[in-house]
Amino acid sequence: MSLDRLVLWRHGETDYNASGRLQGHLDSALTETGRQQARRAAPLIARFAPDTAVSSDLNRARTTAEAFVEVSGASVRLDKRLRETHLGEWQGLSGAEVEHGWPGALETWRSSPTWAPPGGETRVEVAERAAEVVEELDHQHQGTALLCAHGGLITALTAKLVGLPLELWPGLGGIGNCHWVLLKRRSDTHWRLMAYNAGVPAEN
């Protein structure tokens, strides 16, 4: 058995996103805008017809995944390995507060996937735990798998699966709320990037 497609779907806007604060493992909730984003994106996600679906156990991802369940009737399993990057002492702080307490550290973190915030984890570590989920699904399912997760995790996992050298990881941009990444299998160990930061077309 093996998968041939992966859809990596980021959660909708949260109260922390709206206020510009770092979340990490904090269990923030979707705003009404975030719920609307999930409802609008869910039918497009359902068109991928995933054979299996797994979500981060954090509330913002679970609630987003529920919008997919409502339109597809599929079931979604929870896995804490799909949680966002643990940001240690930075969790709950704004970018300005982090810069005040740790001058220059935000830029170091953004530019180096092997550097961790104090008490937190590196992007490499995040990618490794997420890749474990993909590997297990690969042995259990065929077809398409949907992972409902978080922006930092999705970016790191994408970089790892397509085989980017570490120094190129920062070249991948962020993932918008309720946007997704589509990967197709290229070989036993690597994937081909087919769509990145794709989203619902803007309403006129």
- Determine whether the annotation assigns residue 14 to a binding site: yes
- Determine whether the annotation assigns residue 89 to a binding site: no
> What is the token pair recorded at 116?
């961790």
Using the Cα atoms of residue 99, residue 103, residue 106 and residue 107 in order, give the sign of their dihedral: positive
Contact between residue 18 and residue 158 where contact means Cβ atoms under 8 Å apart: no
- Determine whether the annotation assigns residue 60 to a binding site: yes
Q: Given 84, 86, 150, 179, which residue is catalytic?
A: 84
d(C-alpha 192, C-alpha 39), whole Å: 28
> What is the token pair recorded at 189?
């160990």
- Determine whether the annotation assigns residue 11 to a binding site: yes
Pairing relationship of beta strands 180-185 and 191-198 according to DSSP bridges: antiparallel
- Determine whether the annotation assigns residue 197 to a binding site: no
Question: Which residues does 119 contact at the CB level (< 8 Å), separation at least 6?
Answer: 86, 88, 89
Helices (H), the chain: 15-19, 32-46, 59-72, 95-101, 105-111, 123-140, 151-161
**Is residue 11 flagged as an active site residue?**
yes
d(C-alpha 100, C-alpha 102), whole Å: 6
- Determine whether the annotation assigns residue 141 to a binding site: no
- Determine whether the annotation assigns residue 110 to a binding site: no
Q: Which residues are annotated as a binding site?
A: 10-17, 60
Residues tagged in the binding site annotation for substrate: 10-17, 60
Catalytic residues: 11, 84
